[in-house]
Amino acid sequence: MTDTGSSGEERLLVVDDEPTVRELLAATLRFAGFTVTSAATGTEALEAARADRPALVLLDVMLPDLDGFQVVRRIRDLARPPIPVLFLTARDSPQDKVTGLTLGGDDYVTKPFDLEELIARIRAILRRTGTPEAATLTVGDLELDPEAHQVRRAGTPVRLSPTEFRLLHHLVLNAGRVVSKAQILDSVWQYDFAGDTSIVDTYISYLRRKLDPTGPRLIHTVHGVGYILRKPR
């Protein structure tokens, strides 16, 4: 069991029996500002969770002793409120995803994964489960309040459908980064459209029609890749 970094934001626990994956994640998360503890087995993970009470656990399912599903059950009993868990695993069957989320996982990401998207998902979980941050997220003159489900552009309220709100929230959480249509589909629709990314284009056009009349364009197309929301220059 190792500790990477001595300062930063919340402490994360990375649990994976592959040294290369652990080292990559630890280095990436440390660079993003987190303090990282790592473990190679389910037993080590439980010891670390009990000793350090991490803000979030990144947990592989396939471990040499206990599997990740057994670990998440025991982690849930260690503290109140429960420690959030993000499954990060090569086990990509729908049944595994359902099992992981049903047992108390807060998210389920399959390997291979995009590091920037992973960090965005971690921050999203910490916002939902950790110490409350500022209620309103802002990008330029855009304000989004996740708790109240309210959006304002240049002080003017913008009425969005629940799906439009989830899409805009995902873009705001990733402001300044290009997100692919597949990533958006995964996060916002959660596989409901079987990989048909045309629904993303449709809802991006809805958002633009509602947001652009009150200010400069916020959502930009990166052809062949996806979309980026950024503060107007």
d(CA 221, CA 233): 16
User: Whole-angstrom Cα distance, residue 57 to residue 87?
Assistant: 8
pLDDT tens column, 2-50: 554 433 357 899 999 999 999 999 888 888 888 899 999 999 999 988 8
Q: Is the peptide bond before 112 cis (omega within 30 degrees of 0)?
A: yes
pLDDT tens per residue across span 86-120: 999 888 888 888 888 888 888 999 888 888 889 98
Average pLDDT of the segment spanning 47-59:
89
How many residues appear in the chain? 233
Those residues whose C-beta lies under 8 Å from the C-beta of residue 49, and which sit 6 or more positions away, are 13, 57, 75, 78, 83
Strand partners, 157: 152
Strands 85-89 and 107-110: parallel
Smallest Cα–Cα separation from 64: which of 15, 130, 106?
15
Question: Tens digit of pLDDT for each residue in 76-94?
Answer: 777 667 889 999 988 888 8
pLDDT of 190 reads: 59
Helix crossing, 68-76 with 94-102: angle to 10°?
20
Share of the chain above pLDDT 90, in %: 37
> Cis omega (within 30 of 0) on the bond before 81?
yes
Quick check: 26 and 58 in contact, CB under 8 A? no
In the chain the domains, ranked by start, together with CATH numbers, are 11-129 (3.40.50.2300), 137-229 (1.10.10.10)
Tell me: the pLDDT tens digits for 182-196?
A: 888 877 875 544 567
On whether the pTM is more than 0.85, the answer is no
